[in-house]
Structure 1
Amino acid sequence: MRSVGKPVNGFRKKDRIQRTLDRLYGMAFVCASYVYAKRLRSCTRMGIDLPDRQFRTNLDRLPDCDDVEKIELLAVGRRAVRRGELDAVILNASGQRGSIAVYNALFQKYKLINKQAAQEGLELYAEMWDDAKENPGKHPNIDRLMLVVAEDMTLVGKINGKYAS
């Protein structure tokens, strides 16, 4: 702190000063709780205060998507199985409205779904993500995000027939 011209009060140990400097310059002290908190803060850029461990609570915090009828997903990139072809369609129907909200929020923020966007999407799914890990195939929209993270794929979306922009 002294080296950047800020007063240091009460720091007696050199490692505390170094830790403070590291945080000041963005080289954060890494522990499990810090990594989780950093992911939570990254979700606030989507207009979410903090993702909760309840999917329903996270849905209430997402941007409105009543005008979205469907989202068409196209796989792109070298790891895509069917490159450039229609991968899936998520309709705004009962049972898929939550996925419409999550995917719409991700496309609004990132314009496409890459590994980082998929990770944020999985955190928004909260307890549903845990269920999808235990029961593969039960939640195909969550499985798709897990595949994007695992295979480092990219999904491009067409919302109501128009590419996300």
Structure 2
Amino acid sequence: MQKFSDVLQTLDDASHVQRIELFNSDGSAAGAIENKPGSQGSVKVYYHLFRMYGEISLDAAVEGLSLFAEHTADAENCPGKHPNVDRLLNLLEDEQPLTVKVTEK
């Protein structure tokens, strides 16, 4: 299995992204990811998924979980430790896509 650090090197640059906001189908907030230390990898993954799928759909969640590599197994074993991975795992269960708003610097 690839390591998350190796996966990140294959994704497009997201340094221009300041924040990614996620919304449920009813328009309510589902979360936000700030481009700051500790969440820059998540910003890269979610930005990639947004560019590929236009939203965080079921297919996007499956790909995202693959991209998060070893963090996906850790999130399954320790719920709450990786909230951005947990969000994708939850989407596999409820199958409700999330809309995405990207704010650039």
Same fold (TM over 0.5): yes
For residues 29 and 98 of structure 2, what CA distance do their matches in structure 1 show? Answer: 10
Question: Please, which runs of 5 or more residues in structure 2 have no aligned partner?
Answer: none
Task: Provide the TM-score with structure 2 as the length reference.
Answer: 0.95
Give 3-state SS (helix, strand or coil) of 1:113's partner: coil
Give the corresponding residue for 1:70.
19
Q: Does 1:57 align with 2:11?
A: no
Q: Which has the larger radius of gyration?
A: 1
Task: Provide the TM-score with structure 1 as the length reference.
Answer: 0.61
Identify which of 129, 144, 151 aligns with 2:94.
Answer: 151
Question: Please, which runs of 5 or more residues in structure 1 have no aligned partner?
Answer: 1-51, 77-82
Q: How big is the shift at 1:85? A: 1.1
For residues 143 and 68 of structure 1, what CA distance do their matches in structure 2 show? Answer: 22
Higher strand share: 2
* Percent of residue pairs identical: 39
Identify which of 96, 101, 120 aligns with 2:63.
Answer: 120
Give the corresponding residue for 1:7.
none
Q: How big is the shift at 1:86? A: 1.5
Q: How many residues align?
A: 104
* Map 1:9-88 → 2, pairs under 5 A: 52-76=1-25, 83-88=26-31
Give 3-state SS (helix, strand or coil) of 2:17's partner: coil
